[in-house]
Amino acid sequence: MTRYNFIAIEGNIGAGKTSLATMISEQYNARLILEQFEENSFLPKFYKEPEKYAFPLEMSFMASRYQQLKDQLGTMDLFKSFTISDYFIVKSLIFAQKNLPVDEFKLYTSFFNIIYQQLPKPDLLVYLYVDTHRLQSNIKMRGRPYEQNIQDEYLNRIQEGYLEFIKQQQNLRILILDTNTLDFVGYPADYQKIIKVIDKDYPIGVHRVIFE
């Protein structure tokens, strides 16, 4: 696993990003960067009144993600083998595109482009592809009150945003894992399947694995 210095795990809401990143960090003694989303006071408000709170929500998320990644990735940890994060800064742009009107998104993009150039890119970006019904099941299971009314249509739009971004990339090493048939939290054998696939040398480009 140490063939990559920085691995970012991405995916839709409820895809299992935090669980997988945490499990890998514990097994391989990696530095773990977890998104501080529960500290964002705009999030519950956004789910109740999305049009009113979308812009402050997305701006605050971008600022906190940038600061966290800048602080964490800008320093070395001699006691950790590599760094793994449960998000990539580009998720800010993907969610903003789906949540903001055109004029606000244009303004948002101008700020995003400035900070994006200042952050290291992951050596491997792992995208967990999970169908909407499975996402909803995971969301219900973890029980965050402000997430319980998320609609399928919203999850579909976010998934489309990620896939659109992935298709456009030419300079990143991206691994799409279709994990619909796996329960890597509940079954160690499923987790090992993911580890076996991640722990390979991949060239720059998009690679997809569907587990049987």
Q: Catalytic one among 86, 103, 152, 183? A: 86
Sheet containing 31-33: order of strands: 31-33, 83-85, 6-11, 124-129, 173-178, 205-210
Query: Catalytic residue at 152?
Result: no
CA dihedral (148, 68, 166, 92) in degrees, to 10, reads 60
So which residues are the catalytic ones?
Answer: 86
